[in-house]
Amino acid sequence: MGTERTRRRTPSWGCAGPAVALFAFGCAATPPAAAPTTKTAAPAGLVRYLPLEAGTVLSYDTVTEPGGERGLLVLEIRRPNAETAELVVAGRAQRMRVNATSVATYAGGVLLREPLEAGAAWKGDFGHVRLTRTDRSLTVGAGTFSGCIETVEELATREGEKRTTTVFCPGVGIALRQTEAEQGGERQSQRMTLKSYGPKFSPPAQ
C-alpha cells in the first residue's frame, strides 16, 4: 500500500500517506451512512472500549503530513468465531485473537488488554505500549465522546523513532489514531479520526 522511498525502511503507509500500523491496508471509496452520536450503555471491561461487533462499519478521515493530503479509510469488522475478529479494509483482512481480557494480532502484538488502568504496559505491534489516560474526552466527526482511554506505543532506534497514540471510546472502539515517524531527520505523520460508525447496510430481502 503506498510507495516506499528508495533505500529507506519507512513504515508502510495507506492511501492517504504514511501508514497507521493496524489499518495499513488501503482505502474504500464509499463511506457508510453517518451513525447517531449517542449509543446505549456499553458493557464493562475490555469490550466496552473495543466492541468488535460483527457487521460494524467505521469510516475514518485521514490527514497525512507533510503535504496535508486528506483521505478516507473504511473499516468493516467480521467475526468468523468468538475467538477471532477480522478488520477488513479494501477487501484485505487483518485477523485478531480475541478473549475476555485482550485483543492481539496473530503476530503477537497486543492492541489492548486488561487491566485498563493508567500505567499498564505491554508489547504492541511494533514497540512498547503504555496506557496513559482513562478519562479522555474527544470530539471527532462521529460525535463527542467522554470516558475514553488512551494508549501510546513507542519505538526508538538509531535509525529513527515511531510513536502511535490511540484513543478507544466506550461503545465505539478506536475513535482516533495518530502515528508519527522520524527517519533521517524527516518527520511524517498520519492522523485518523472517526467520521461515522454503525451496522453495515443490508438491502431488504426481495
pLDDT of residue 159: 83
Q: Which residue has the higher pLDDT, 145 or 13?
A: 145
Q: Which residue has the higher pLDDT, 79 or 30?
A: 79
Element (H, E) at 155: strand 143-157
In a domain, 66, yes or no: yes
In a domain, 150, yes or no: yes
In a domain, 35, yes or no: no
Residue 68 has pLDDT above 60, yes or no: yes
> Given CA atoms 79, 170, 154, 179 in this order, what sign does their dihedral have?
positive
pLDDT digits (tens, 9 = 90+) for 148-200: 999 999 999 888 899 999 999 999 999 999 999 997 788 999 999 999 999 98
pLDDT of residue 9: 36
In a domain, 203, yes or no: no
CB 174 within 8 A of CB 166: yes
CATH of the domain at 112: 2.40.360
In a domain, 81, yes or no: yes
In a domain, 52, yes or no: yes
In a domain, 2, yes or no: no
Bridge partners (DSSP) listed for residue 197: 58
Query: Any residues with CB less than 8 A from the CB of 44 and at least 6 apart, and which?
Result: none
Using 50, 70 and 90 to split pLDDT, how confident is the model at 22? low
pLDDT digits (tens, 9 = 90+) for 111-162: 999 999 999 999 999 999 999 999 999 999 999 999 999 999 999 988 889 9
Bridge partners (DSSP) listed for residue 130: 121, 152
In a domain, 11, yes or no: no
Q: Which domain holds residue 88?
A: 21-29+45-197
pLDDT mean over 63-85: 96
Cell 533521517, residue located: 184
Residue 42 has pLDDT above 90, yes or no: no
pTM greater than 0.85: no
Q: How many domains are contained in the chain?
A: 1
